Amino acid sequence: MLVVMQSDATAPQVDRVVAVIRERGLTPHVLPGTTRTAIGMTGNTSAVEAALFESLPGVSEAIRVTKPYKLASREMHRDDTAIPLPQGTFGPEAFTIVAGPCSVEDEALIFRTAEFLLENGITFLRAGAFKPRTSPYSFQGLGREGLAILKKVREKTGIAVVTELMDTDNADAVEEAVDVIQIGTRNMQNFALLKRVGLARKPVLLKRGMSATLEEWLMAAEYIMAGGNYQVILCERGVRTFADHSRNTLDLSVIPPAKTQSHLPIVVDPSHGTGKRAYVPSMSLAALAAGADGLLLEIHPDPDKALSDGAQTLDFPTFAKLLNQLRQLAPTLGRSIPSGRSESVC
Ligand code: PEP
Ligand code: MN
């Protein structure tokens, strides 16, 4: 059930609705909108009567939400959600680019990449300190040491950092060290982890499970939002199919239905989506054209020497060329890609 307030509803009227929801043993979620506030509720096992809320002062209407996910649904929140950070926003206007090496390999690599990105007007760095590798014998990431490097680059340069959290044990440390917490494809249905980041006060970049349907993906987002963290950024990173010409099948066709079903921003990761660096530029441009709100890209000064995912990683000149193409295309699609060093972060 979603209770939509009248545009001139007062704060005490909103509080009254919240109190009635609580009296029924349910959890209220106050969702301020551009013109009016809506209040969602979760925890209801039986139908909640619309009439109960519609008789309260300041209430415009009470709508039954038909989807199995509520807070993530477009029914609950008609406007596109924007997730603002000091370094940029994930949402409907800007096309926000996050780039960096697959893994934190050492401090020099991270600082060199951050400086290159900032010189090119990109204010979000990605790099994994904890790496989910298919083989236990592959490089597993630097762990806490890598996290300390990310914390340092963030403090010294002002760049925003996105990194993966793989388990609840490291949740406090990751939340403290970075700006956006990434949940990887393999953990999309790790419900303990989703519940933990639902308590975090940092945005969560939620990768689509490699075999997940859109509904399962949005249910995973719902787990995070039901905990009170509404700042969820969806990330399409390719799914498993019979195709073997690429590592995964980048499912750009999920963007329009994701936008129809949900108000959450969605970014695309063409690096993991294709697994091959030659395909990354065209798929990046296609993601922008398909309505994505941004990109997550793997870049490295010497991709062939990268400790993980080198085959899908762009070198700096190729990334700069792609960025130039994206900057030319974005305005024709009503998007902006900020350029130049941002005063506020350096
Ligand atoms: C990554 O971003 O480096 C990563 C491991 O991604 P995914 O979870 O999509 O495989
Ligand atoms: Mn990777």
In this structure, are 109 and 230 located in the same domain?
Answer: yes
Q: Which atom of ligand 1 is nearest to the CA of 182?
A: 2
What is the pLDDT, as a whole number, of residue 344?
43
Q: How many CB atoms lie within 10 A of CB 341?
A: 14
Can you tell me whether residue 57 is helix, strand or coil? coil
User: For the chain, which ranges sit under pLDDT 50?
Assistant: 342-346
Test site for ligand 1: of 125, 164, 240, most ligand atoms within 8 A of the Cβ = 164
Q: What is the CATH number of the domain that holds 17?
A: 3.30.70.1140
- 296 falls within a domain: yes
- 119 falls within a domain: yes
What is the pLDDT, as a whole number, of residue 341?
52
- 247 falls within a domain: yes
In this structure, are 279 and 185 located in the same domain?
Answer: yes
What are the helix and strand counts (H, E) for the chain?
11, 14
Query: How many angstroms separate the CA atoms of 195 and 212, rounded?
Result: 18
Decide if 62 contacts 99 (C-beta within 8 A): no
In this structure, are 32 and 106 located in the same domain?
Answer: no
Number of domains in the chain: 2
pTM above 0.85, yes or no: yes
Q: How far is the CA of 118 from the centre of ligand 1 (A)?
A: 23
In this structure, are 171 and 106 located in the same domain?
Answer: yes
Maximal CA-CA distance, the chain? 66
In this structure, are 54 and 196 located in the same domain?
Answer: no
- Go through 284-303 and write b for each residue having 16 or more CB atoms within 10 A of its CB, e for each that does not: bbebbebbbbbbbbbbbbeb
- 91 falls within a domain: yes
95-138 pLDDT tens trace: 999 999 999 999 999 999 999 999 999 999 999 999 999 999 99
Domain hosting 15: range is 2-63
In this structure, are 152 and 299 located in the same domain?
Answer: yes
225-253 pLDDT tens trace: 999 999 999 999 999 999 999 999 999 99
In this structure, are 101 and 144 located in the same domain?
Answer: yes
What is the pLDDT, as a whole number, of residue 49?
84
What is the pLDDT, as a whole number, of residue 64?
86
- 169 falls within a domain: yes
In this structure, are 204 and 254 located in the same domain?
Answer: yes
Joined together, the tokens standing for residue 253 give 């066709």
In this structure, are 269 and 213 located in the same domain?
Answer: yes
Which residue's CA is the nearest one to ligand 1's atom 1? 102
What is the pLDDT, as a whole number, of residue 340?
55
Tokens 């900057």, residue located: 327
Q: Which of 142, 201, 152, 133 is nearest to 172 (CA)?
A: 201
Query: How many angstroms separate the CA atoms of 134 and 17, rounded?
Result: 49
In this structure, are 193 and 318 located in the same domain?
Answer: yes
Give the number of whichever ligand sits closest to the CA of residue 248. Answer: 1
Q: Which atom of ligand 1 is nearest to the CA of 102?
A: 3
Find the distance separating the first CA and the last CA of the chain, reported in whole Å. Answer: 45
Query: How many angstroms separate the CA atoms of 7 and 270, rounded?
Result: 41
- 157 falls within a domain: yes
Q: What is the CATH number of the domain that holds 261?
A: 3.20.20.70
In this structure, are 318 and 209 located in the same domain?
Answer: yes
Q: How far is the CA of 163 from the centre of ligand 1 (A)?
A: 10
What is the pLDDT, as a whole number, of residue 45?
61
Which residues line ligand 1 at a C-beta cut-off of 6 Å?
102, 128, 132, 184-185, 207, 237, 272
Q: Which atom of ligand 1 is nearest to the CA of 103?
A: 3
- 338 falls within a domain: no
In this structure, are 191 and 268 located in the same domain?
Answer: yes
